[in-house]
């Protein structure tokens, strides 16, 4: 379980997140939606300890993440797919997957071969350099790279941005398969369609503050939230 309590995040003097409280239960699937600049990526980077300065408490499986380094958070089972994907352009698809295997983990990992079977669109590209892949192919590779270590919490930052609808539809199945093995999900998105299919409940963020939290049914009933805080 991930518990975020009273989280504030700063870039230098700039105060970006204000008193955020949210929980992702073990195996639970939660969406965070909000328009550009609302603070979605800042939250995920704060959870990874990668960028913003923070105040407040972030607990993962009962343990305060405090000053734990990003690589150590990954070893604790938290996998992060950043919005810019960070594929290594000079390595092949296969090599990108191979180096993502974290040998410090005690739990079982998949092999690159097994992972390529799970992502059939990547299979034929296995010897292609990461740098020449399309945006959609890079996003699939970023997801496969996160999945290879069998994470217990997947942090996805706008995975559907700029992707063709057919790739987005396939990605719903990929995310559901990864989470089907008990992995929890915190999905930052602007696509309501994708978020609904991948998660059970939703938080809405606007200007660094949560303005709604609830099940999708409650979101649908909360008139005005969509127009006021999302604009999509
Ligand atoms: N490295 C940084 N230094 C200073 N300010 C930043 C930095 N990164 C983001 N910000 C600011 O923090 C605020 C939140 O940005 P963030 O990237 O978290 O939003 P977002 O919801 O992920 O937006 P998008 O949907 O465009 O990715 C914005 O006002 C942004 O300009
Ligand atoms: Mg972002």
- Binding pocket residue ranges, ligand 1, CB within 6 Å: 11, 14, 16, 34, 36-42, 83
**Digit-coded pLDDT (tens) for 135-182:** 999 999 999 999 999 999 999 999 999 899 999 999 999 999 999 989
Residue 230: DSSP 8-state: I
Sequential DSSP letters for 3-50: EEEEEEEEETTEEEEEEEEEEE-TT-EEEEE--TTSSHHHHHHHHHT-
* 51 DSSP β-pair partners: none
Could you tell me if 56 and 8 are in contact, meaning their C-beta atoms sit under 8 angstroms apart? yes
Alpha carbon of residue 8 to chain centroid? 19
Q: How far is ligand 2, taken at its centre, from the CA of residue 47, in Å?
A: 14
Closest ligand to Cα 190:
1
Number of domains in the chain: 1
How many Å apart are CA 214 and CA 223, to the nearest integer?
13
Q: How far is ligand 2, taken at its centre, from the CA of residue 42, in Å?
A: 7
**In whole angstroms, how far apart are CA 190 and each of 21, 48, 99, 179?**
20, 21, 30, 20
Q: What pLDDT band is residue 7 in, cutting at 50, 70 and 90?
A: very high
Compute how many other C-beta atoms are within 10 angstroms of the C-beta atom of residue 128. Answer: 15
Kindly give the number of the ligand 1 atom that is closest to the alpha carbon of 205. 21
**Digit-coded pLDDT (tens) for 30-79:** 999 999 999 999 999 999 999 999 999 999 999 999 889 999 999 999 99
CATH number of domain containing 218? 3.40.50.300
Q: How far is ligand 2, taken at its centre, from the CA of residue 190, in Å?
A: 9
Provide the domain limits for residue 182.
2-230
Mutate to test the pocket of ligand 1, among 7, 12, 14, 203 (most ligand atoms within 8 A of CB): 14
**In whole angstroms, how far apart are CA 119 and each of 123, 166, 170, 175, 177?**
7, 14, 10, 11, 11
Kindly give the number of the ligand 1 atom that is closest to the alpha carbon of 45. 18
How many Å apart are CA 136 and CA 150, to the nearest integer?
22
Per-residue pLDDT for 232 more than 70? no
């Amino acid at each position: 379980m991930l518990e975020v309590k009273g989280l504030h995040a700063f870039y230098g003097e700039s105060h970006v997140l204000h008193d955020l409280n949210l929980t992702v239960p073990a195996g639970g699937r939660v969406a965070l939606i909000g328009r550009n600049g609302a603070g979605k990526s800042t939250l995920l980077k704060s959870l990874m300890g990668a960028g913003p300065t923070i105040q407040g408490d972030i607990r993962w499986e009962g343990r305060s993440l405090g000053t734990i380094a990003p690589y150590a958070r990954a070893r604790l089972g938290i996998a992060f797919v950043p919005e810019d994907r960070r594929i290594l352009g000079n390595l092949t698809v296969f090599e990108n997957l191979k180096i993502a295997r974290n040998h410090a983990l005690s739990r079982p990992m998949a092999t690159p071969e097994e992972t390529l079977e799970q992502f059939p669109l990547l299979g034929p590209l296995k010897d292609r350099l990461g740098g020449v892949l399309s945006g959609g192919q890079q996003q699939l590779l970023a997801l496969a790279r996160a999945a290879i270590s069998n994470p217990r919490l997947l942090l996805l930052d706008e995975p559907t941005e700029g992707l063709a609808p057919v790739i987005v539809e396939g990605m719903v199945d990929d995310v559901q398969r990864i989470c089907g093995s008990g992995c929890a999900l915190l999905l930052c998105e602007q696509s309501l369609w994708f978020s609904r299919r991948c998660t059970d409940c939703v938080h809405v963020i606007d200007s660094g503050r949560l303005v709604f939290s609830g099940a999708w049914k409650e979101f649908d009933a909360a008139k005005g939230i969509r127009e006021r805080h999302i604009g999509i």
